Amino acid sequence: MTAVTVRRATVDDARGIAEVHVTAWREAYAGHMPAEFLASLDVDRRAAGWAGILERGETDAFVAERDGTIVGWATAGSGRDDDAPRDRELEGIYLLASAYGSGAGQLLLDAAIGDAPAYLWVMDGNGRAEAFYRRNGFTRDGATMTHPAGDATVLAVRLTR
């Protein structure tokens, strides 16, 4: 298997990021989010959104590639919460299931936040993701929030290090 590489994302990566975004959500959140909601995710709409985000430089964005194809992405910034417990937030990190165990997640985390103090939100009950973050020094700090997912809501918990 070819090694995974990580680099800073460009506007030209918007479509690949969107494809991973939609596929990774469907893979990771099946059984945790309504199937109708996951089926409604639209790559074209996400690609347009990602193009805007990347053009405006709203966040630090990185992609993981294998054989020239994007298999994951991560974003980080100064924190979107008014009560942010740290100066840096890991806003998102997603991998295709086919990239699990490849080291891509660690490479993305390292590129996005390194070993700096940071915080992130993770879906409560997403044991795989939470175990990964715990291995990287993150622990729950007690904060929670809910996100809409179609007609349902999803509970997210905050982790900090």
Q: What are the residue ranges spanned by the domains of the chain?
A: 5-117
pLDDT of res. 149: 83
pLDDT of res. 150: 81
On the question of pLDDT at 102 being above 90, the answer is: yes
- Starting at the edge strand found earlier in the chain, the sheet holding 119-123 runs 5-8, 60-66, 69-77, 89-95, 119-123, 152-160, 139-149
Question: What separation in angstroms does the CA of 15 have from each of 51, 66, 68?
Answer: 8, 16, 14
Q: Are strands 69-77 and 89-95 parallel, antiparallel or unpaired?
A: antiparallel
Cα four-point dihedral sign 24, 70, 76, 116: positive
Through-space distance between the first and last CA atoms of the chain, rounded to whole angstroms: 33
Phi, psi of 133 (to 5 degrees): -65, -35
Kindly state the percentage of the chain with pLDDT values over 90.
90
- What average pLDDT does the structure give for the chain? 95
On the question of pLDDT at 136 being above 70, the answer is: yes
Mean pLDDT to the nearest integer, 131-151: 94
Phi, psi of 116 (to 5 degrees): -70, 155
Mean pLDDT to the nearest integer, 44-64: 97
For 63, the enclosing helix (H) or strand (E) is strand 60-66
On the question of pLDDT at 1 being above 70, the answer is: no
CATH of domain 5-117: 3.40.630.30
- In the numeric block, the tokens 């919460």 are attached to 81
Confidence of residue 151 (pLDDT cuts 50, 70, 90): confident
Of 135, 104, 83, whose CA–CA distance to 24 is shortest? 104
**pLDDT per position as a tens digit, 111-121:** 999 999 999 99
On the question of pLDDT at 7 being above 90, the answer is: yes
